[in-house]
Amino acid sequence: MTLPVAGAWSAVVLGGGDPGDPFAAAHGAPVKALIPLCGEPMALHVLRALRRSGRVARVAYVGPTTPALDALLDLRVTDHGTLLSNLEAGVEALRTAGLRPGERVLVVTADIPLLDAQQLRDVLDSAPDAGLVYPVVRREACDAAYPGVKRTYVRVQDGTFTGGNLFLLDPALIGQFLPRLREVLSARKTPWKLAGLIGPGVLLRLLTGRLSVTRLEQKVSAILGVPARALITPHASVGTDVDKDEDLRLAEAHLGRAGAPPASPANPSATL
């Protein structure tokens, strides 16, 4: 594949959330993305990684912001209440602002502050050419980077993995896979519904660790109707989000208390 040139990506950062989130409220923030981390909103660490990567030309942020965040944004998008609705709104904002032909979009949650610019470059530069790319991290990489941190893992033939908190998509295909993705997410806690979507045989092989990454990619592609690929990345930060106090302490310990200078500001525009 041809590696992307600098600034070849646009990004949607998902910083919305439940206004009643007890984790955010306990830290005096309206939503999790704005919880203070090393004296700054958590989302600010994510935005700096995007801007310093040299790969992201434009950022649309979905959710409430602060002046410090605004300086690193191009588009501010109102929180639409759910993850998929926010994803759709963010991509639509980028599309309205004008995407280049063939341009793909990086979608990242605002709660992975341990991600740094070099790691993000590695992910983007190694991404396969597919309609939907989902990075995953081996358990060994997570245990080595952050010993003792609890994550949700899935065992397949190729190893044991946790999912990333960012993914890459072709915005022209979002209308094709989003309705089916909504079905999968709504069925994930109902085994018989999930079996109906992915097939009982595939579900059994997945639950018993006998499914390969390649077969899983093929099945996800068939379900969503777009080419989908997994990207195995060595960077544990991609799969390490902050959603409880022990995660926050981990991030504080790794980032330290020294403040980082702000990146060059973009041109923020009005809320969409």
3-state secondary structure the chain: CCCCCCCCEEEEEECCCCCCCHHHHHCCCCCHHHCEECCEEHHHHHHHHHHHCCCEEEEEEECCCCHHHHCCCCEEECCCCCHHHHHHHHHHHHHHHCCCCCCCEEEEECCCCCCCHHHHHHHHHCCCCCCEEEEEEEHHHHHHHCCCCCCCCEEECCEEEEECCEEEECHHHHHHHHHHHHHHHHHCCCHHHHHHHHCHHHHHHHHCCCCCHHHHHHHHHHHHCCCEEEEEECCHHHHCCCCCHHHHHHHHHHHCCCCCCCCCCCCCCCEC
- Rounded CA-CA distance 67/158 in Å is 45
CB hemisphere CA count around 169 (13 angstroms): 24
**pLDDT computed for residue 206 by the predictor:** 78
Residues 269 and 70: their CA atoms lie apart, in Å, by 9
More confident residue, 269 or 191: 191
What is the per-residue pLDDT across 16-40, written as a single tens digit (0 to 9) for each? Answer: 987 778 999 999 999 999 999 999 9
Per-residue model confidence (pLDDT) at position 186: 74
Q: Are 252 and 37 a contacting pair, CB within 8 Å?
A: yes
Which of 55, 40, 50 is CA-nearest to residue 13? 50
> What's the token pair of residue 254?
């790794």
What is the predicted pLDDT for the residue at 192?
64
pLDDT tens sequence across 48-104: 999 999 999 999 999 999 999 999 999 999 999 888 999 999 999 999 999 988 889
Mean pLDDT estimate for the chain: 88
Report in angstroms the alpha-carbon separations of 228 from 19, 43, 50, 131: 33, 28, 23, 6
Residue 114 tokens read as 């341990």
Distance CA 71, CA 218 (A): 41
Name all domains of the chain by residue range, CATH numbers in brackets. 9-255 (3.90.550.10)
User: pLDDT grade, residue 257 (50/70/90)?
Assistant: very low
Mean pLDDT lowest among 51-60, 149-158, 231-240, 253-262: 253-262
Q: Kindly give, in sequence order, each residue whose CB lies less than 8 Å from that of residue 151, ignoring residues fewer than 6 positions away.
A: 139, 142, 162, 239, 240
Paired residues of 220 in beta bridges: none
At residue 188 the predicted structure's pLDDT band, cuts being 50, 70 and 90, is low
CA-CA distance, 91 to 62, in Å (whole number)?
Answer: 10
| Structure confidence at residue 180 as a pLDDT band (50, 70, 90) | confident
